Amino acid sequence: MTMDIGGSFRHELTGSFSQGSDSNPTVAMVEASYKANNLHYRYVNCEVNPDQLEAAVKGARAMNWKGFNCSIPHKVEVIKYLDGLGESAALIGAVNCAVNRDGKLIGENTDGKGFLKSFLEITPATGKTIVLLGAGGAARAIAVELALAGATKFYVVNRSRARGEELTALLNDKTSATAEFVEWNKSYSIPADAEVVINSTSMGMVNTEGKQDIDFDSIRPGMLAADVIVNPPQTYFLDEAGKRGATTLQGLGMVVNQAVIGIKYWTGVDVDAKDLNDELLRVLGLA
């Protein structure tokens, strides 16, 4: 196949600004998708320290980048260097995807949108009562998108009271959902009215027994149990929930879908998630 470069020897540029960028597989997924779709774009994974973030954003402007992802630790700090925010990014208070729209850099948050797309393939969000384990950046993005999609009630379960109460207040004050904070200081039992339980903590990454302070027997058949962990995709949390008859949702879909959404923002093209998913599994050694 010959790539159609439209008579141009210049690629449109996209990429990622983060610290600890060596371990970020997004570049492999996105570049595979660009190639599969004959898009004359490149994705550059950049190591950017916090004191370099403003200069990096100015550099992206100067080089007419189509946009970039922001990962840890830049998702909040980057906002001051952008020209505006999308609705959910403004609510979440964090940006993981900047988009060049007519010369202005607009901040979006595709983390929650990526999760929501996977979620909606299994069940509607409307009217759902949801247990959210954790209250960090991923939890915040997921909760806002689910609330905007019609989820009605949240239990925010977190060890840090300050962060948990902050997310609870955000949901109560800025969305039509109601939320209740639960301090996670003992083994947590899923309430009888909950239909969905989402692990948004990093505890699944160790994938060992005894690390997750949950009464797994409180998970009932017919519930949906979701995890944001990518590697391993089948976590101890999902294994235990599945044994109790819950439908399980891995974190791989969230990562792939948020990249698909980012590519659409940057290129205007709807790409096939399969190209990204296949490459992600390959580079993680899971294919």
The string of pLDDT tens digits covering residues 17-65 is 999 898 889 999 999 999 999 999 999 999 999 999 999 999 999 999 9
pLDDT along the chain (287 residues), means of 10: 64 96 92 97 97 98 97 93 96 96 97 96 97 93 97 96 96 97 94 96 58 88 94 90 97 95 98 96 89
Q: Which residues of 26-44 are buried (b: 16+ CB within 10 A; e: fewer)?
A: bbbbbbbbbebeebebebb
- Cα 131 to chain centroid, rounded: 17
CA distance 242 to 22: 33
Q: Return the pLDDT at 83.
A: 98
Q: Return the pLDDT at 4.
A: 55
Is 75 catalytic? The answer is: yes
pTM beyond 0.85: the answer is yes
Q: What amino acid is encoded at 52 in this protein?
A: Q
Of 51, 44, 46, nearest to 21 (Cα)? 46
Q: Return the pLDDT at 231.
A: 81
> How far lies 276's CA from each of 113, 138, 271, in Å?
16, 21, 9
Backbone dihedral angles phi then psi of residue 280, each to the nearest 5 degrees: -60, -45
* Helices (runs of H) and strands (runs of E) counted in the chain: 9, 14
In the beta sheet, which residues pair with residue 100? 105
Cβ–Cβ < 8 Å for 24, 71: yes
The active-site residue out of 66, 75, 113, 153 is 75
Q: Is the four-CA dihedral 200, 136, 101, 4 of positive or negative sign? A: negative
C-alpha dihedral (137, 91, 170, 73), degrees to nearest 10: 20
Which residues lie below 8 Å from residue 9, measured CB to CB, with a gap of 6+? none
